[in-house]
Chain A
Amino acid sequence: MSVFSAAIRHRSFYWQISILCFVLGGLLAAAVYTSYKIAQSGRGFNRAGFDYGGIVASITSDRVEKDSQEIKKLREDKKHLEDIIAKGNDGKEALNTSLQEARVYAGLTEVTGPGVVITLQDSKKQPMIGINPEQYLIHDRDINEVINELRSAGAEAIAVGSQRVVSSTAIRCVGPVAMVNEVKEGAPFVIKAIGDPDTMLSALNISNGVLDNIRRYDPLMARAEKSDSLKLPAFGGNTQMKHARPVKSGSQKKSKNQ
């Protein structure tokens, strides 16, 4: 008597299925572990495992060291300038040097030097189902994050497209383009930064860092390369101050409005 019309002949199939089930278990483990890892490395990635104490101590001592050097340099400069003023009219040259330094620092001159070139572009892939298509586009915040990371890695001059990034620069999305210094820049966004190329590149490429976040769904969205010689344009925007006034060095007393 049979359950199905076919004759029941129990060949040994348990072994084969057992082996397959072993492989299947491995596959399931990989799937579970992968999804666990992906969930763990979400945007709010966990910072466990960092030794904060040591890092903070080293940063603080570095900062103190740098600041004290800066103070020393400024005092020497001040003494130098005071000497020149005391001497009389020969101060033009020194004043000019100091002015040029300030102009370079403010981004009002073209600069060249080694650095990195970062290219950010929108993904050409079709968005995966269940993932916000916005994740496949480059936004103003991505550019801002990259610039912030570059600055923290010691970039001395930064430009987005044709626009130099200075202290008053705003970067924001307007429709399909980004406004940098109130000038439209379209994708792909080419960010050039002058500074130590190795430091900046490793800061950008740190795992779970800025570029990793941009490249999450498409590795082609962000590209960073070293460059031996970059030329950054000067800031071409308005430098007039309407509201801010420098504090006169003589009048140290409190403002009347307060």
Chain B
Amino acid sequence: MKAWFPIASLAAGFLIGLLVLSHFNWWVPVEYAPYLSVAALVGLDTAFGGIRAGIEGRFQNDIFVSGFLLNTLLAGFLVWFGKLIGVDFALVSVLVLGGRIFLNLSLIRRYYLNKQALARSQQREENAAALQAPSAALSQKPEVGGSI
């Protein structure tokens, strides 16, 4: 199962990022902090969207990459434009992306729960079939005998 790869790479990226940043003492200026948080949100949204598309079987590299880049650009533009006219447009991207993250997470959850339920019901059918097969054979015997 490769499902832990994304989680492991997330942790690795976080740790390496933290090490590099603290080693060189780099940090984003206060004015640009909103852009960074919006970019992180877009990243989360893309990750969940990608997982969902993958388990639905319609994952495509170009859509994945272009979605990430374009969404980042749009969210950054919204933050910038919102600062320009004094309305916090960053809230728009936070709301929409946040909503999508929850939606995608719920669909992913549903998929795995349904898969488990399917597996359980298949198991039950197989068990029932396995139980029925000998009992049918047993119950057929008296019938056969009866007929004789």
With contacts A11-B54, A13-B59 known, is A31 near B36, CB below 8 A? yes
Query: Complex formed: what's the CA distance from A176 to B81 in Å?
Result: 29
Contact B40 A24 (CB under 8 A): yes
Please provide the chain B residues from 6 to 56 with a CB less than 8 Å away from any CB of chain A in the complex: 6-18, 21-22, 27-28, 30-31, 33-34, 36-37, 39-40, 43-44, 46-47, 50-51, 53-56
Contact A125 B83 (CB under 8 A): yes
Chain A residues with CB below 8 A from B50, complex form: 13, 16-17, 20
In whole Å, how far is B90's beta carbon from the nearest beta carbon of chain A?
9
Query: Complex formed: what's the CA distance from A30 to B114 in Å?
Result: 37
Contact B13 A33 (CB under 8 A): no
Chain A residues with CB below 8 A from B9, complex form: 18-19, 21-22, 25
Contact B59 A29 (CB under 8 A): no
0 or 1 for each of A11-42: is its CB under 8 Å from B? (1 = yes):
10111111111111111111111110110000
Contact B13 A21 (CB under 8 A): yes
0 or 1 for each of A247-258: is its CB under 8 Å from B? (1 = yes):
000000000000
Binds B, one of A2-10, A56-64, A187-195, A197-205: A2-10
Interface residues on A, range: 35 or more
Please provide the chain B residues from 63 to 121 with a CB less than 8 Å away from any CB of chain A in the complex: 64-65, 68, 83, 85-86, 88, 110-111, 114-115, 118
Contact B6 A18 (CB under 8 A): yes
Chain A residues with CB below 8 A from B8, complex form: 18
Q: Does A167 contact B (CB under 8 A)?
A: no
Query: Complex formed: what's the CA distance from A3 to B122 in Å?
Result: 14
Contact A18 B14 (CB under 8 A): no
Query: Complex formed: what's the CA distance from A28 to B28 in Å?
Result: 12
Contact A25 B86 (CB under 8 A): no
Query: Complex formed: what's the CA distance from A209 to B10 in Å?
Result: 37
Chain A residues with CB below 8 A from B43, complex form: 20, 23-24, 27
Nearest residue (CB) in A for B68 is A20
In whole Å, how far is B75's beta carbon from the nearest beta carbon of chain A?
12
With contacts A13-B59, A20-B68 known, is A28 near B46, CB below 8 A? no
Nearest residue (CB) in B for A1 is B118
Q: Does A129 contact B (CB under 8 A)?
A: yes
Q: Does A172 contact B (CB under 8 A)?
A: no
Q: Does A216 contact B (CB under 8 A)?
A: yes
Contact A34 B28 (CB under 8 A): yes
Chain A residues with CB below 8 A from B114, complex form: 3
Contact A14 B3 (CB under 8 A): yes
Please provide the chain A residues from 123 to 141 with a CB less than 8 Å away from any CB of chain B in the complex: 125-126, 128-129
Chain A residues with CB below 8 A from B58, complex form: 6
Query: Complex formed: what's the CA distance from A4 to B50 in Å?
Result: 16
Nearest residue (CB) in B for A218 is B31
Contact A29 B27 (CB under 8 A): no
Contact B13 A26 (CB under 8 A): yes
Query: Complex formed: what's the CA distance from A14 to B13 in Å?
Result: 16
Counting from the closest, the 7 A-B pairs by CB-CB distance are A25-B13, A29-B17, A126-B86, A13-B54, A24-B43, A26-B17, A25-B14
* Known interface pairs A18-B8, A126-B85; 5 further A-B residue pairs with C-beta atoms within 8 A, sorted by A's residue number: A17-B5, A23-B43, A25-B15, A31-B37, A33-B22
B-contacting residues of A (Cβ < 8 Å)? 1, 3-4, 6-11, 13-35, 37-38, 125-126, 128-129, 216-217, 219
8 chain-A/chain-B pairs, Cβ below 8 angstroms: A14-B54, A20-B46, A23-B43, A30-B27, A33-B22, A34-B27, A34-B33, A216-B30
